[in-house]
Amino acid sequence: MDFQATIDADGRIEPRDAMPDGYRKTLIRQIAQHAHSEIIGMQPESNWISRAPSLRRKAILMAKVQDEAGHGLYLYAAAETLGVDRADLLDLLHSGRQKYSSIFNYPTLTWADIGAIGWLVDGAAIVNQVPLCRCSYGPYARAMVRVCKEESFHQRQGFEILYTLSNGTEAQKAMAQDALNRWWWPSLMMFGPPDAASTHSEQSMAWGIKRHSNDELRQRFVDMTVPQADVLGLRVPDDGLVYEDGHYRFTEPDYTELYDVVKGNGPCNQQRLSRRVQAHEDGAWVREAAAAYAAKKAVRAA
Amino acid sequence: MNDLLEYTLRLGDDALIAAQRTGEWIAAAPQLEEDVALGNIALDQLGQARSLLQYAGSLDGRTEDELAYFRDEREFLNLQLCELPNGDFAFAMARLLYFATYQHLLYDELRSGADETLAGVAGKAVKEVAYHVDHATQWVLRLGDGTEESHRRMQAALEALWPYTAEMFASDDLVRRLSVAVDPSTLQDEWTNRVLAVIDQSTCERPSSSYQHSGGRSGRHTEHMGFLLAELQHVARSHPGATW
């Protein structure tokens, strides 16, 4: 079956199938950006591993950040099926030519932010990613099935952190509310610009890479999240929030902030990228040594 | 403090402080596979720490968190080896080779010991640390026999940490008195054989320092320990009585 017929029949494209250049490029860009987001996203959370306030929470957080490294690995592997390699994709990240999700350019200032990231950021990621499990490109869809399973565990643990805080002391409850106040708007921006301003959406929908529009997914997230905030006893920081015809009407975030952060002007853009580059450069001699050792071993075995 | 409590704290504190340092590597490792591997190792160490501190706490009515977050520096009984700040990756792998080889020998004895709880913890942990030893060994070989730079760094790390190894095997009245304890001095010969075999194979020179540090087992630590604890404990101590 040719490419378009497969897409039209809602079938899967596999690495050896013929595909248009644009499809390949779009997927490489999207999967790479997704992989980069996983590994940059390790930073705001690993920031709290050493300070997690109980040993149980420390263990859960370590496991979560480790899962993200694992997600990065599957996603780079999925991208590699399209004929690129991880080292080149990392170079594109390090030189700023490929992006990662802007949400990770916000700082984690208190322990409650670890709860908010799990609940809101992983919650938004799930809403974005569940449809990708049905994406037309097989290796990406299969990687996402695995990622989504772990993300839903992450989301629950984030909710549980905030639930414990909001039922704790006054100071803990205030910490939880403050985290929601700071993470709410950036979380809404995770769905991208409004549909009218979204540049890549239409073609991606036609190719079966994207299944729902940004605004649809954003609405789904708000509808899912607001009742959870009620359970937490926390207030969503939006005075315009009303329930109407089965949906929560909400105030749109200020998208100029999103464009600014995407361009590099967010609170942690420089810090995140330079820390990533630093880890990579600090590791260069290790990777070289591993390659040299493997080469010596191969010669000895021959 | 009763003997069993003190002995269990020694082992639990080693694992806890090791986990704290290993955890610092997550998101900073030389490659993504290593973030995953070091994450695994840190989780194993933390899991061992929790089991041991829970047991220690059960002996005098404290929780694992009270022991981890509300003791002061002089009450921690871990080896100084575990608390030293992370250096480069060679330093991390040298420390893991020294420490995990020791833990492996120790847990292997302890799992057939007379204390059922300690034996249970050791029985599970011995499999975990066997993997740590293997991981460290592979890296010491790669780095020692890799490039000129990696060889130099591996050699430097093996040397720098050697003066913190004798403390692992120091015998004292407590371990001689407490029948369920393993006297660590009985492990030293086998540890030396195993570690030197890896070092020889890595093409590095055997470390040759005569000075050996001590003090961790009686709560005398390096200058780094206070900062480690400040970071580990500050949120919990800022909210005494809170649950998380």
Q: What is the mean pLDDT of residues B157-186?
A: 97
Residues of B in contact with A296 (CB under 8 A): 145
Q: What is the mean pLDDT of residues B39-60?
A: 98
**Residue partners of A206: CB distance under 8 A and separation at least 6:** A7
CB-based contact, B46 to chain A, within 8 Å = yes
Q: How far is A213 from chain B (nearest CA, A)?
A: 32
Of A66, A72, A279, the CB nearest to B40: A66
CB-based contact, B62 to chain A, within 8 Å = no
Q: Are B42 and A62 in contact (CB under 8 A)?
A: yes
Measured distance CA(B17)–CA(B82) in Å, rounded: 6
Residue with the two structure tokens 């520096």: B73
Nearest CA in chain B to A70: B36
Nearest CA in chain B to A76: B32
Measured distance CA(A51)–CA(A109) in Å, rounded: 12
Burial (0-12, 13-18, 19+ Cβ within 10 Å), A55: buried
Q: Are B77 and B10 in contact (CB under 8 A)?
A: yes
Q: How many CB pairs (< 8 A) connect A and B?
A: 143
Question: What's the pLDDT at B43?
Answer: 98
Question: What's the pLDDT at A199?
Answer: 73
- Pick the residue of A68, A273, A286 with the most B CBs within 10 A to test the interface with B by mutation: A286
> A123: how many CB neighbours lie within 10 A of its CB?
25
CB-based contact, A54 to chain B, within 8 Å = yes
Nearest CA in chain A to B66: A54
CB-based contact, A70 to chain B, within 8 Å = yes
Contact flag A290-B88 (C-beta cutoff 8 Å): no
Q: What is the pLDDT of residues B62-100, one digit of tens each?
A: 999 999 999 999 999 999 999 999 999 999 999 999 999
Q: What is the pLDDT of residues B173-218, one digit of tens each?
A: 999 999 999 999 999 999 999 999 999 999 999 998 889 999 999 9
Contact flag B29-A283 (C-beta cutoff 8 Å): yes
Residue closest to B5 by CA, chosen among B117, B104, B106: B117
Nearest CA in chain A to B144: A289
Query: Which B residues 145-204 touch A at CB under 8 Å?
Result: 145-147, 149-150, 153
Phi first, then psi: what are they for A244, rounded to 5°?
-155, 125
CB-based contact, B222 to chain A, within 8 Å = no
pTM value?
A: 0.97
Cα of B3 vs its chain's centroid, Å: 20
> B159: how many CB neighbours lie within 10 A of its CB?
16
Q: How far is B44 from chain A (nearest CA, A)?
A: 9
Measured distance CA(B65)–CA(A238) in Å, rounded: 37
Question: What's the pLDDT at A123?
Answer: 97
Q: Are B96 and B137 in contact (CB under 8 A)?
A: no
Measured distance CA(A133)–CA(A236) in Å, rounded: 30
Q: How far is A76 from chain B (nearest CA, A)?
A: 10
Question: What's the pLDDT at B199?
Answer: 98
Question: What's the pLDDT at A302?
Answer: 83
**Long-range CB contacts (within 8 A, 24+) of A184-187:** A184/A120, A184/A236, A184/A237, A184/A238, A185/A237, A185/A253, A185/A254, A185/A257, A186/A102, A186/A103, A186/A106, A186/A253, A187/A103, A187/A120, A187/A121, A187/A123, A187/A124, A187/A221
CB-based contact, A46 to chain B, within 8 Å = yes
Q: What is the pLDDT of residues B97-115, one digit of tens each?
A: 999 999 999 999 999 999 9
Phi first, then psi: what are they for A249, rounded to 5°?
-80, 135
Amino acid at position B182, single letter: V
The DSSP code sequence of A69-118 is HHHHHHHHHHHHTTT--HHHHHHHHHTTSS---GGGGS---STHHHHHII
Contact flag A111-B43 (C-beta cutoff 8 Å): no
CB-based contact, A76 to chain B, within 8 Å = yes
Contact flag A171-B43 (C-beta cutoff 8 Å): no
Question: What's the pLDDT at B209?
Answer: 81
> B207: how many CB neighbours lie within 10 A of its CB?
18
* Tokens of residue B170, six digits: 């120091």
Q: Are B118 and B54 in contact (CB under 8 A)?
A: no
Measured distance CA(B143)–CA(A289) in Å, rounded: 6
What one-character DSSP code corresponds to residue A134? G
- Pick the residue of B145, B147, B152, B234 with the most A CBs within 10 A to test the interface with A by mutation: B147
Residue B7 has pLDDT above 90, yes or no: yes
H or E element at residue A29 = helix A21-40
Residue closest to B86 by CA, chosen among B78, B77, B100, B96: B96
Beta bridge partners of B200: none
Question: What's the pLDDT at B41?
Answer: 98
Contact flag B36-A66 (C-beta cutoff 8 Å): yes
The DSSP code sequence of chain B is --HHHHHHHHHHHHHHHHHHHHHTTTTTSSSHHHHHHHHHHHHHHHHHHHHHHHHHHHHHT--HHHHHHS--GGG----HHHHSPP-SHHHHHHHHHHHHHHHHHHHHHHTTSS-HHHHHHHHHHHHHHHHHHHHHHHHHHHHHTS-HHHHHHHHHHHHHHGGGSGGGG---HHHHH-TTS--GGGGHHHHHHHHHHHHHHTTPPPP--------GGGT---THHHHHHHHHHHHHHHSTT---
Q: Are B38 and B29 in contact (CB under 8 A)?
A: yes
User: In a structure prediction context, what are the per-residue pLDDT tens digits for chain A, which is 302 residues long?
Assistant: 689 999 999 999 999 999 999 999 999 999 999 999 999 999 999 999 999 999 999 999 999 999 999 999 999 999 999 999 999 999 999 999 999 999 999 999 999 999 999 999 999 999 999 999 999 999 999 999 999 999 999 999 999 999 999 999 999 999 999 999 999 999 999 999 999 887 777 888 889 898 899 999 999 999 999 999 999 999 999 999 999 999 999 999 999 999 999 999 999 999 999 999 999 999 999 999 999 999 999 998 88
Of A39, A50, A290, the CB nearest to B23: A50
Nearest CA in chain A to B53: A55
Nearest CA in chain B to A291: B146
Of B27, B29, B145, the CB nearest to A43: B27
H or E element at residue A242 = strand A242-244
**Residue partners of A197: CB distance under 8 A and separation at least 6:** A255
H or E element at residue A136 = none
Output the CA torsion sign for A252, A256, A260, A262: positive
Q: Is A164 helix (H, G, I), strand (E, B) or coil?
A: helix
Q: How far is A68 from chain B (nearest CA, A)?
A: 9
Q: What is the CATH T-level fold of the domain B3-238, as seen in this structure?
A: Ferritin (1.20.1260)
Q: How far is B147 from chain A (nearest CA, A)?
A: 5
CB-based contact, A28 to chain B, within 8 Å = no
Q: What is the pLDDT of residues A3-58, one digit of tens each?
A: 999 999 999 999 999 999 999 999 999 999 999 999 999 999 999 999 999 999 99
Contact flag A72-B32 (C-beta cutoff 8 Å): yes
Residue closest to B138 by CA, chosen among B99, B104, B96: B96
Q: Is A201 helix (H, G, I), strand (E, B) or coil?
A: helix
In chain B, % of residues over pLDDT 70: 100
H or E element at residue A190 = none
Question: What's the pLDDT at B1?
Answer: 79
C-alpha distance from residue A234 to each of A3, A172, A286 (Å): 49, 12, 47
Residue closest to B144 by CA, chosen among B95, B82, B90, B180: B90
Question: What's the pLDDT at A197?
Answer: 86
For chain B, give every domain's residue range.
Answer: 3-238
Contact flag B150-A289 (C-beta cutoff 8 Å): yes
Question: What's the pLDDT at B210?
Answer: 83
Question: What's the pLDDT at B208?
Answer: 87
Residues of A in contact with B29 (CB under 8 A): 279, 283
Q: How far is A167 from chain B (nearest CA, A)?
A: 9
